[in-house]
Structure 1
């Protein structure tokens, strides 16, 4: 659809379709915290994110179930966009699923922390922690990358992964699940209110 109405690298098309721009969110277009994770800028961008989603999703989704997977994808993506809104450059137009992808990377880390005795999950957690660190280091050396979106997505995925755990297993304890959700809500609220401050 982006291509049909003018091109996925056309700034006006991206804005029309719902890309994240701080000024428009501050004007009340809150849905721009959700829609950017379904938009991409260029064929290479959507190919790389789609390939990563396939690679990670075919391991994570069967493990935690469809609904947990969807919740982590959606809410960690929103937390990533909130972090970009709060701490990123205000005049940048951003889009892409990488906020959600970082959330899924961090969900593996959460599972490794919860189920430390499971060697498979522990090794997965180590691998994805390394992937997060390497990608964040690369973000610092590249232009046009929204590092705050990636950081926020990872924080969201870690907290949500801890809150949801694995289906059918009563770990972690409910109090810790609730605390993880509360912390995610508090961090999200802080980032939203910080982003809503208009700097003169």
Structure 2
């Protein structure tokens, strides 16, 4: 469920929404840091409560896609690539992007109302990503048929680590993380209506030259999973270290 075996070609074909979101993250990051007029994009897109109070309501949306630090953009993009595909498949493209945007906006609205007018500038996809985590929390608690026990324990562990990082890290928008998580869980009863469990083989896209049928594929996949397990854990640990070491907005 959270192990990525796809090539780039098959990943972007199976999960186009996540591919586009990550592309937007990286394009805006490069633009804001290295290309002309990047400072204007940052100035007009960053979340700032006083500007929102003065009518610049787009700032409740634009921060979801913006990152200024390398660790920040990598942490959020990797998190989306690892934990997003299962939800994009189960929900479908429309429900997935709707959930992502609604929870991200809810996180920024909560930052506006709870943080006060002079709350410092903020940006990043963390609120929306915690919204996806909130949806997983609802699945683990109330829709157990959609996730197996091993993956449920894994995602709850990651969520717990994310909450610890929220309170231990510096320059982190605590309101966005907490209310994004709450918004995701609150959407669960509605957004999960009629969904089926994740399947690694549903609508699989085969790379060019790949054999579509192999009588020994199940044994090969089992061996591959055993080899990949320590790699996946290494990636997760790396993400945690990046998140703890980075100064996030």
TM-score range, shorter chain: 0.7 to 0.9
Tell me the distance in 1 between the aligned counterparts of 2:150 and 2:194.
20
- Residue 85 (structure 1) aligned to one of 93, 103, 112: 112
Tell me the distance in 1 between the aligned counterparts of 2:195 and 2:50.
44
Q: Are positions 1:2 and 2:32 aligned together? A: yes
Whether the 8 Å CA contact 1:106–1:128 is kept in 2: the answer is no
User: What's the TM-score once normalised by structure 2's chain length?
Assistant: 0.60
Q: Map of 1:154-165 to 2, 5 A cutoff?
A: 154-165=181-192
Equivalent position of 1:131 in the other structure:
158
> Across the two proteins, how many residue pairs are aligned to each other?
164
Q: Map of 1:107-118 to 2, 5 A cutoff?
A: 107-116=135-144, 118=145
Equivalent position of 2:57 in the other structure:
30
- Greater Cα offset, 105-114 or 71-80: 105-114
Q: Which runs of 5+ in 1 are unaligned?
A: 170-200
Deviations 1:45-94 (A, max 9, x none): 11111111111112211122111111110000011111211223634111
- RMSD, matched Cα: 2.2
1:38 Cα offset (Å) = 0.7
1:113 Cα offset (Å) = 2.9
Tell me the distance in 1 between the aligned counterparts of 2:127 and 2:114.
14
Q: Tell me: CA distance 1:168–1:155, structure 2 relative to 1, closer, same or farther (3 Å).
A: closer
Q: Map of 1:21-170 to 2, 5 A cutoff?
A: 21-88=48-115, 90-116=118-144, 118=145, 120-121=147-148, 123-167=150-194
Tell me the distance in 2 between the aligned counterparts of 1:146 and 1:108.
21
User: What's the TM-score once normalised by structure 1's chain length?
Assistant: 0.73
Tell me the distance in 1 between the aligned counterparts of 2:161 and 2:96.
24
Equivalent position of 2:46 in the other structure:
19
